[in-house]
Every structure is written in C-alpha cells, then in structure tokens.
Structure 1
Amino acid sequence: MRVTFYSWKADKIKRYGLVVILALFCALLLWIGQWSQLPVFSNKGEPRALSQGSAETPYVALTFNISWGSEKVHEILKKLDAYNAHATFFVSGEWAERHPDILEDIHKGKHEIGMMGYKYESYLEQEPAEVDTDLREAKAVFEKLGYKDLKWIRPPHGHFDKAVLKQIDKKGLQTVQWSINPHDWENPGTNKIIDQIMEEGSKGDIILLHASDSVKQTSKALDVIIPGLKQKGLEFVSITELVNGGKSKTTQVQ
C-alpha cells in the first residue's frame, strides 16, 4: 500500500513538474516575442535599418528606387493612380536635381519621397568623410527643391554597416531596406516578378521595385501585383504609414 502511495505521489509530482516546465517555456516564448517587437530603430541606442513592418496590421509598402532615366517612372505612376495604390519613391539627389518636375509629379500623386544619397555610389566603398559629404549634399538638394522634412533613406545599392548607420542617424535620417526583392531591374520576366511577390507578399512587407529606365517589365507586373495583393486583404501604404501602423522589425547589422 505504501509503495502504491509513493508511486502515485511520484507520478503526481512528475505531472506537476511537466506543467511547470511547459508554463515556464510559454513564458519564455512570450518574453522573446515581446523583445522581438522593439520599436523601430531601437537597439539600446544603436541605429538599425527597417526591413519589415508589423505582421499585425494589413499593410504593405511598395517602394521604388530611381537613380537614372525618366521614361519608365510615369508609366508606373499611372498604374499606381489607376489602382489607387500609394508608394514610397527613393531617389538620388543627382536624379532629383535633373528631374524636379518628375519629383513634383510623384509628390502630387500623394506618394512619399525618400532619398538614396546624392551620387548613388556605395557607402561601403567610400571613406566616412565622403559618405558625410554625400549625405549633406543630398539633404541640401532636397531642401532646395522644397522637401525639407525627408526622413527616410535607402543607402545606395542597399550597402551599409554599423558605421554607415550611425552616420545616417546623425543626419536625422532613418535607413529603410526591404523584405521582398524580385530583382525587377534584371528583367527576369514579368511572371517571375509577379509570382515572387504574390507568393511572398504578406502583412508588413516592404517590396523593392525600381522605376529607372532599366526596368522593362515592372509596370506590366503591377497590373497583377496590386489587385492580387489587395485580394489578399492588404492595403498599400507609405513607409511612414507602415511604421505608424504598428511596431516594426529591423535589420541588425553584425
């Protein structure tokens, strides 16, 4: 009888022990989840690059890079207008200087404007002083054109490290990357661009596309991408709206 009692007691302790372990494990997961949802660019004071918005809100951000050419951008603007989709355009300072009228068309279309430096040369291939000069010249150009409150920057070619992020942060700018990149500038095929975005596109995504003259298939792909993502319940917003809609993931630079 005593053996049976001790056996029953041991089994009970094991069951309670398992429950406690599971409870602690769940608590740990919740704690990790809480810290994975840190505010945008918050990393104990270290700047980060925004790569994706919150998965809790049905927002997706279309972003377009422009560093040269003027033939394709209007096609893309017309598609965005036809489907009532807002986007964010990242443009280089040199391009903005050469095409202030197109920049104004982008602004009038209620799209957000971000910068890509001035010369569109990789910051990892420049000395810190050169990067500082490029950022300063870019800000000066946009301010001269009447865009004084720009806060988003996509480093040229998407190249950056911790030092570059700190330089950008000191200029009052915040770095934006992406979560989906179909490499449309390589013109891989309209269907390939569509398929990747439609398969991967979900809440909080930042989609990288281009509006420079190199892209031959992007405009046509938008005819499927925009309605398709809307059918998935997604809403097209600017980067600012994506961030304001919820907490966002950031890319850690090692």
Structure 2
Amino acid sequence: MFWIVNARRLKQYLIILTAALFAIGIAWAERDNISIFTSGKNGPNAIYKVDTREKKLALTFDISWGEERVGPILDILEQKGVKKATFFLSSPWSKSHPDIVKRIKDMGFEIGSHGHKYTNYSSLNDEEIQAEITKAHEILKELTGTPPNLIRTPNGDFDKRVLKIADKMGYTVVQWDTDSKDWLNPGTEQIIKNVVDSAHPGDIILMHASDSCKQTHLALPAIIEQLRSKGYEFVTVSELIANAKINTNEVQ
C-alpha cells in the first residue's frame, strides 16, 4: 500500500514537473523573441528568418509604385555605407523605372521579384500563378541581366500551391519576421521602435520604398545607426539562407 501511494504521488510529481518545464520553455522562447516555425514534411516553405547566433540580419524593401521615396532611401543606404540589402521589385514598376532598377543593381543590392500584377496569388489558379511569376521573371531578367530566384508575393499572400509552383520555377518565397509597419505611416519614431526593438540575429526586416510609405526614409538613418550600435551586420537574404539554418512557417 505504501508503495502504491508513493507511486501515485510520483506520477503526480512527474506530471507537475513536465508542465512546469513546458511553461519554462515557453517563457524562455518568449524572452529571447524566438518564433517557432515548423518546416512541414512535404514540399517547400516560405522563409521568415534563419537560425543563427551571428548578429546578421537582412534589410528588405518592397517597391510596387512611385519614384519619390526610393531615391532618398538609396541615398541614405549609400551615405551610411550599407552595401547589402534586398529589394523586391514589381515588374510593371521596374519596366517603368529602368534607371532606378539600374541604380539598385549598380549599388550591389540584391534584387528579388515582387510579382507582376499586385494581386493575391492564393486567389489565382495554378496557370495564372505560373504566368504571374513568369512575366515578372522575364522583365526583371531583361532589366538586370540576372534571373531572380527570390520572390515576395504581393501582400505576402500565398498558399501551398503557390509555394510548390514557385519552387518548381526555381524560386524561394521570402516573408519577414520583423515588420516595420512603415506602410501605416505611424510616425518616424514608431517605425524606428518597431524595427530596433524586434530585430534579432537572422532576422528578415520588412520595409517599403513605394511612395505610399512617406516616413521610411526619415526613420532609416536611425534604424541603421541603432542596429549597428547593437553589433548587427547587414547582409542579403541569400546570404542569410546560405549561412544559417532556415526557419519556415508551414502552410495549412
């Protein structure tokens, strides 16, 4: 009887201990700003960040329209000596602004695709998805001389079909882990805070260089300075992928 009672207590203790360890694990992950992404067992996935202890991260800029904001952003990157960043360009915008595309390329920045029509790919059928990616691919390849292999889909929208089609076409779908929310125009200080407070090793940071984002170029100098003061090095998305374990988010 004594042994049975103690066995029951031991079982209770083990259950309590397991629950406590689980809670500690969650708290530790939250403390270190770690997002847990499952890669899934079948098919490709979108990349949000990479696992690395090195203080490297990627500044990324989406452009789909306008020409007033991108110039100042490129000027700031040049003035601050930022030689590596990734620009996701929509092909209609690129075709209308070949001189700006050339400047981005000549500055040595990585260029990825932001698609052709600005529409949610998950709402398209398979043939339409392939056609959209192909149109953008051909235009960007013609303008830059280099075929892109990274794509950030319009609105960041995708499903498993999009991932599989993109993968078959030689593309990796890239999302982000830190959103500057510059597209909301919340104020320069808030944009700086959104980025600097959330940035972490292996991070992919979302910003925009379209004209609708009126405060990005005002926030960018402080973002660069404060991240550097924390010891961060700026690299391209491709460099992050090549040098670290990928974190992905499984699509249901």
Q: Same fold (TM over 0.5)?
A: yes
Q: Which residue of 1 aligns with 2:62?
A: 65
Alignment of 1:137-216 (within 5 A): 137-216=135-214
Residue 60 of structure 2 aligns to a residue whose secondary structure is strand
Alignment of 1:1-254 (within 5 A): 43-85=40-82, 86-254=84-252
Residue 248 of structure 1 aligns to a residue whose secondary structure is strand
TM-score normalised by L of structure 2: 0.83
Q: Which residue of 1 aligns with 2:32?
A: none
By how many angstroms is 1:182 displaced?
Answer: 2.3
Does the aligned pair in 2 maintain the 1:37–1:248 contact within 8 Å? Answer: no
Does the aligned pair in 2 maintain the 1:89–1:112 contact within 8 Å? Answer: yes
TM-score normalised by L of structure 1: 0.82
By how many angstroms is 1:127 displaced?
Answer: 2.3
Aligned AA (1:184) = D
The alignment yields a C-alpha RMSD, in angstroms, of 2.5
Q: Which residue of 2 aligns with 1:4?
A: none
By how many angstroms is 1:43 displaced?
Answer: 4.3
Does the aligned pair in 1 maintain the 2:105–2:144 contact within 8 Å? Answer: no
Distance (whole Å) between structure 1 residues aligned to residue 231 and residue 37 of structure 2: 23
Q: Tell which structure's C-alpha radius of gyration is larger.
A: 1
Distance (whole Å) between structure 1 residues aligned to residue 195 and residue 37 of structure 2: 24
Q: Which residue of 1 aligns with 2:30?
A: none
Distance (whole Å) between structure 1 residues aligned to residue 165 and residue 197 of structure 2: 36
Deviation by residue 1:8-63 (Cα, 9 ceiling, x = unmatched)? xx9xxx9xxx9xx99xx9xxx9xxxxxx899xxx6445110000022312111100
Deviation by residue 1:117-155 (Cα, 9 ceiling, x = unmatched)? 111211122222211111111111122224333110001
Distance (whole Å) between structure 2 residues aligned to residue 46 and residue 144 of structure 1: 30
Q: CA distance change for structure 1 residues 146 and 229 in 2, over 3 Å: closer, same or farther?
A: closer
Distance (whole Å) between structure 1 residues aligned to residue 232 and residue 40 of structure 2: 29
Q: CA distance change for structure 1 residues 146 and 224 in 2, over 3 Å: closer, same or farther?
A: closer
Residue 118 of structure 2 aligns to a residue whose secondary structure is coil
Residue 53 of structure 1 aligns to a residue whose secondary structure is strand
Aligned AA (1:233) = G
Does the aligned pair in 2 maintain the 1:75–1:219 contact within 8 Å? Answer: yes
Aligned AA (1:95) = W
Structure 2 gaps of 5+ residues are 26-35
Number of residue-to-residue matches in the alignment:
229
Q: CA distance change for structure 1 residues 84 and 61 in 2, over 3 Å: closer, same or farther?
A: same
